[in-house]
Amino acid sequence: MLKTRLDLARIQAARQAIDPLFLDSPLYPCVGLGTELGCAMSLKLETVNPVHSFKARGTEIIASRLSASGLSAVVCASAGNLGQALAWSGRGRGIDVTVVASRSAPAVKLERIRALGADLVLVDGDYDVACERAAAISRERGVPRVEDSVDLGTCDGAATIGVELAAAAGRFDAVLVALGTGALASGVGYAVKSLAPGTEVICVQPQGAPAMTRSWHARSVLTTESVDTIADGVAGRVPNPDALADLLVVADDAVLVEEASIKRGMRLLLDHAGLVVEPSAALGVAAVLEDRDRFAGRSVATVVCGGNVDMEAYLGWVGVGPVPLVTGAAVSG
């Protein structure tokens, strides 16, 4: 029995609150990617649902709970994906959703939050500044606030991914999961370690946003002054102590990767899986790239956690383009 805020029975029950279209996401081996990386690599694809990230698993639980309590408004800070997901889940239940995000979040994320009918409040500054503003709005308006990794619904939602990974035929030697606030990593980690304790759970964060990883190694909360990474979905400075405590129980390791590896990971996912993903979704591949020996010959799964990316930026990162003026297949002789 792992001592965390999470609970397997509660997670299984919470699954019932999630629209099935967000559950049982594709999980498949990508042999070409594995060959490139020197291990057997499977992808858990959280990007083919209507919000293109795993976040709706959590917001479905939360919005369902709000709805049952007769609440009709909610606010959250978001790097972009939580806001989209909460907007989706709120819309279907008549809940007014306010999302606070950084003005510098990817345009596609901000556009989709608006398109889903949420009230979008933009702040100058990063994700943690947005968190402060969301807290203020919550107090001023007296509406509940959804906080990633603090609100247990966000962790329980993520944990349903871990349940699915643990139920997969064959056993994974390791599961690689993006680390930001810790909701995804602690949720997936808790479920995997509870149901398949032999599987290693490894969290991956960018060198440019290392607060939670450093905290995990120090076993106490460490913050950073700033963040500098293309992986906008995991770019936090201020870890939550409860999320860290859970992560200390369920994660076997937390590693940092360089920006170049994230970009290379995105490119490999394009070349071998035909997938366009956001930087955070390539962290697992980046971790293998930086430590091939550790994963050599092993069976590894990674959660492709989000696909919301500005294409212009994406193409620059993966090194495709520029687009020629005349379209048509190139000629090889």
Interface ranges with its own copies (CB under 8 A): 21, 25-26, 28-32, 35, 43, 45, 47-50, 52, 103-107, 110-111, 122, 230, 232, 270, 272-277, 307, 310-313, 315-317, 320-324, 327-333
Q: Least Å distance between CB 229 and its own copies?
A: 11
Q: Which residue, 144 or 233, has its beta carbon nearer to its own copies?
A: 233
**E strands along 24-166, which residues?**
27-29, 40-45, 73-78, 96-102, 119-123, 145-146
Place of tokens 């698993």: 57
Strand-strand pairing, 27-29 and 73-78: unpaired
Q: Which residue, 141 or 312, has its beta carbon nearer to its own copies?
A: 312
Q: Which residue, 17 or 273, has its beta carbon nearer to its own copies?
A: 273
Sign, CA dihedral 256-126-187-214, equals positive
Q: Least Å distance between CB 280 and its own copies?
A: 13
Q: Which residue, 106 or 153, has its beta carbon nearer to its own copies?
A: 106
Q: Which residue, 88 or 295, has its beta carbon nearer to its own copies?
A: 88
Q: Which residue, 1 or 169, has its beta carbon nearer to its own copies?
A: 169
Q: Least Å distance between CB 330 and its own copies?
A: 4
Q: Which residue, 179 or 231, has its beta carbon nearer to its own copies?
A: 231
Q: Which residue, 239 or 279, has its beta carbon nearer to its own copies?
A: 279
Written as one string, the DSSP assignment of 224-248 is: -S----S-GGG--SS--HHHHHHHH
Q: Which residue, 133 or 145, has its beta carbon nearer to its own copies?
A: 133
> First CA to last CA across the chain, in angstroms?
63
**Is-cis flag, bond preceding 210, omega within 30?**
no
Q: Which amino acid is at 10?
A: R
**What are the φ and ψ backbone dihedral angles of 194, each rounded to 5 degrees?**
-75, -40
Question: Could you tell me the CA-to-CA distances from 6 to 149, 168, 186 in Å, in that order?
Answer: 11, 21, 9
- Cβ burial 69-107 (10 Å sphere, 16+ → b, else e): eeeebbbbbbbbbbbbbbbbbbeeeebebbbbbbeebbe
Q: Least Å distance between CB 326 and its own copies?
A: 8
Q: Least Å distance between CB 317 and its own copies?
A: 6
In terms of phi and psi (left: phi > 0; alpha: psi -120 to 50; beta: otherwise), the region of 125 is left
User: Residue 260's Cα: distance from chain center in Å?
Assistant: 19
Place of tokens 């992560």: 247
Q: Least Å distance between CB 252 and its own copies?
A: 28
Q: Least Å distance between CB 41 and its own copies?
A: 11
Q: Least Å distance between CB 209 and its own copies?
A: 14
Among 229, 222, 225, smallest CA distance to 204 is for 229
Q: Least Å distance between CB 69 and its own copies?
A: 27
